[in-house]
Every structure is written in structure tokens, then in C-alpha cells.
Amino acid sequence: MFDSGATVAAALDAGGADLSEAQRQPNGVDLTVGAVFEQTEPGAIRRDGKRVGEREELEPEDGAYRLDPGTYVVRYGEPVRIPDERIGFVLPRSTLLRNSCTLDTAVWDAGYEGVGEGRLDVGHAIEIEPGARIAQLVLATADHDGTYDGEYQGERL
């Protein structure tokens, strides 16, 4: 069972997000673009750990990120808080898909709090304004064992 948009908005409001009316959707909450990065150094996934590679933050030009085809990292503009008994999924706005671009996202664990990131895949040049809505967070009821306690907990709060 998925929560209504109002319930998702209440969870984000409780976590300190400052949501506009436009972000409140029937089935979830739209997330905006907080920052865009280009990775410059390799990261690592090891059996006993991980490292996120170095990246450079892009600067908007004339008020927008003007992105050529390629792979970027997007940081969302809102702190997200996943309540207990929930799992979160972030999906791209369909307009992104209609413009040959997408987001790749992972599971948002119960108990996670922070300003998260995802992979922005640009298949055709696009301009994206900072603060523009790019994705939608939905929450579904889920059983879980414990809550998120990894190194991204509390990131950028």
C-alpha cells in the first residue's frame, strides 16, 4: 500500500522540508534539483567498505544547468525523512523521460534522514533550472528489520 501525497508531504514537513504547493502531488512529493555534479575521480565498492569518488559541482549558466549528454550526480533540494514502517522510492518526472533523460535511484530505507543524491542520465542536451522539480518520492508500507544506520545517515542536514 502506498501513502497518499499528503502523507508523504507530512513526513517531509516533519523532517524540515519547505515544500511548495507545486511539489505536493496526489501520490507523492516532487523533489527539486539542489545541485548537479560531474564525477572526476573513481569511486570504489569493496567487500568491506565503499568510497564516493571526487566530483565537481557545476555552476548554472544564465540561471540553468545546461547539460550535454552524459552522466551526472544530482543532489536533491529537500531533506528527506523515511518514517518507520515505510520504504521510499524516487522516480523521475516523466518530462525528464520525455526529454531523453532519466534518474537512476536506489532504495530509501526506513529511518533514513538526509539530503540524498541520485544519478542523472542525460541522453539529449537539456537545461534544468536549480530548484526545478525533477523527481517524485513515494512511500510504501513495508516491514523492516531495524532502521537505516549507514554512513549516509543525517547527510547534509
Ligand X SMILES: O=c1ccn([C@H]2C[C@H](O)[C@@H](COP(=O)(O)OP(=O)(O)OP(=O)(O)O)O2)c(=O)[nH]1
Which positions ≥6 away from 58 have C-beta within 8 Å? 35, 36, 37, 38, 65, 67, 72
Nearest CA to 34 out of 99, 151, 114, 105 is that of: 114
Asked if 148 is part of the footprint of ligand X (rule: CB under 6 A), the reply reads: yes
Stretch binding ligand X (CB under 6 A), from 5-13, 61-69, 132-140, 147-155: 147-155
Look-up: residue for cell 514537513?
A: 13
Asked if 89 is part of the footprint of ligand X (rule: CB under 6 A), the reply reads: no
Nearest CA to 157 out of 113, 117, 118 is that of: 113
Length reported for the chain: 157
Asked if 37 is part of the footprint of ligand X (rule: CB under 6 A), the reply reads: no
Options 101, 112, 133, 135; binder of ligand X; rule CB under 6 A: 112
Q: Which is nearer to ligand X, 106 or 140 (CB)?
A: 106
Please give the DSSP secondary-structure letter assigned to residue 52.
P
Q: What is the chain's Cα-based Rg?
A: 16
Question: Shortest approach of ligand X to residue 63 CB, angstroms?
Answer: 26
Stretch binding ligand X (CB under 6 A), from 10-18, 57-65, 110-118, 134-142: 110-118
Chain contacts with ligand X (rule: CB under 6 A):
50, 90, 105-109, 112, 116-118, 148, 150-152
